[in-house]
Structure 1
């Protein structure tokens, strides 16, 4: 474990403690801009990068694993929750207004780092010239373990609400519906990677397909920005799952079904959960939970439209590589049209500047051909 650092001056007080045996925990930060702050629409990339940089400064080995590890990511971060509005080509955060930001840990190693980090939190979250003061930090999801989730009490149904747009990958495309197999496959992947109690995936998902019912749902879909590349169509809202009478014939799967539902607030649902998508809570809501600023929706729609154009032009080559290039071209060109510099785009995408510059030229040329 990395050496504990001394508390820095002018950092927010923190008396958060939890058992060293903890495997799952969620923290909520209250962030306040001292003056009006203007962020680029894909600001969650900055939150993601800032968090990993915090890890890197204290534990480079853990940071490398979180960034490059081939397993499921053992953490999530949310977007900012609060009064966010469009301002031209940017999103605006209002001075002296509180914004909530959540970080969760899905493994003992990550929670150990969080326990050390909260003892000496920095004074601000710095999002590219938009410092957000950390006013407070508190526990949002109680410290627990996978075994405790498995053995906890439960009701007859399982109800989940999706606070931020949620989507899955299916046959190379985004799939914005909470079909039970997709939902529980999402949770099972994290469970099998981090719980130390792996379950046969095919057998469990066959049981889900046969025994899990949707008893009610209320959903809204929207186009949103998704991490470093492209845009997705995601859903928000709520869903209630129930079980058939035959479900009890495999009681171990029935027990896991409820445990995975309680895992959802920690691990999120679907993909891009380390960039703010798929934030999930237990319970029901009849309201649209998160408003997406117009500028974000506009950019997401532009990226999606450009991606389809570039995919159509490259259909002869086909394959995942062609689709990936089309998505990168679309993202780079759309963000450049929004006034962002290619240097900033290159930094966000983790690509060499010259490559991004070349892709921008090729995308503009391809767009002229299409017209």
Structure 2
């Protein structure tokens, strides 16, 4: 049950355009795995950015079969010219050695320690489809429901009902620092970028393990709507040991 995030290190101007990146990936997907479009949840997520002055594009694959079919073609792109809205040369295709590359399995998500605190950093605009509109606030229920839905769609485990209820009903926000940022989709919207620490009070050992596993899963799956355009790019971060505080009265906010 492999989960993989492959990063294409690019040579070119700026970073890929969201619609161009999705169009490129869908062409690969149609050739290697056309039946994937029949599913409700996307078993993949895309991303893009710049690291150390180098633009990159990311393909995250949430099903082992998808990884098996697509990874040979992705690795073969090294040294090739591609068009991701703009033309690029692929300098390298990485499965490790880049902060947004990685490989794990679904069982390993649950092998790490559990914690009642889940610090997440939202790197690209994150928003949710809610009552027919895009909603940009990273509320605990929206974030965790998004992660649970994808993990249960493609992984071997389902959260026990009592754990699900605890995660969705009791989780709160301990710390939040961020802002909204424009997201270019078919219809422009805004999404949240920044840091949030989610907290599950009175968490049992099992509940804390599930909360932490969902945080580790977020690195691969993304959160919210339009992850196929590179939005909802999220990863856990190290919570500082000191007590978290917001700006004092009179200080500028984020």
| TM-score normalized with structure 2 length | 0.82
Structure 1 distance, partners of 2:122, 2:15, is 27
Structure 2 distance, partners of 1:208, 1:119, is 38
- Per the alignment, residue 109 of structure 2 pairs with 149
- Per the alignment, residue 319 of structure 1 pairs with none
Contact 1:160 1:238 in 2 (8 A): yes
TM-fit CA distance, 1:71: 2.4
- Per the alignment, residue 271 of structure 1 pairs with 225
Residue aligned with 2:158, SS: coil
- Per the alignment, residue 119 of structure 2 pairs with 159
After superposition, residues 1-371 of structure 1 pair within 5 angstroms as 22-33=1-12, 43-57=17-31, 59=32, 62=33, 64-66=34-36, 68-81=37-50, 98-121=54-77, 123-127=80-84, 130-139=86-95, 140-199=100-159, 204-226=163-185, 229-245=186-202, 247-248=203-204, 251-283=205-237
Q: Deviations over 1:328-354 (max 9, x none)?
A: xxxxxxxxxxxxxxxxxxxxxxxxxxx
Structure 1 distance, partners of 2:14, 2:210, is 44
Contact 1:237 1:285 in 2 (8 A): no
Number of paired residues?
235
Question: CA separation of 1:213/1:38 partners in 2, compared to 1, >3 Å: closer, same or farther?
Answer: closer
Structure 2 distance, partners of 1:217, 1:233, is 17
Contact 2:173 2:197 in 1 (8 A): yes
Q: Structure 1: which 5+ residue stretches go unaligned?
A: 1-21, 84-96, 287-371
Structure 2 distance, partners of 1:169, 1:205, is 21
Q: Deviations over 1:56-89 (max 9, x none)?
A: 34x2xx1x233x2232111111134369xxxxxx
Q: Structure 2: which 5+ residue stretches go unaligned?
A: 241-254
Q: Deviations over 1:200-247 (max 9, x none)?
A: 6x7545312443221111010123212xx21222110011112212x2
- Higher strand fraction: Structure 1 or Structure 2? 2
Question: CA separation of 1:38/1:100 partners in 2, compared to 1, >3 Å: closer, same or farther?
Answer: closer
Higher relative contact order (Cα pairs below 8 Å, separated by 6+ residues):
2
Structure 1 distance, partners of 2:30, 2:125, is 29
Decide which structure has the larger Cα Rg and report it.
1
Structure 1 distance, partners of 2:107, 2:14, is 43
- Higher helix fraction: Structure 1 or Structure 2? 1
Question: CA separation of 1:127/1:102 partners in 2, compared to 1, >3 Å: closer, same or farther?
Answer: closer
Structure 1 distance, partners of 2:123, 2:238, is 11
Q: Deviations over 1:146-180 (max 9, x none)?
A: 11112222445211101000001122222111111
TM-fit CA distance, 1:119: 4.2
Q: Deviations over 1:262-290 (max 9, x none)?
A: 1001000101001011001111699xxxx
Q: Deviations over 1:122-152 (max 9, x none)?
A: 6022135x32000112123431111111222
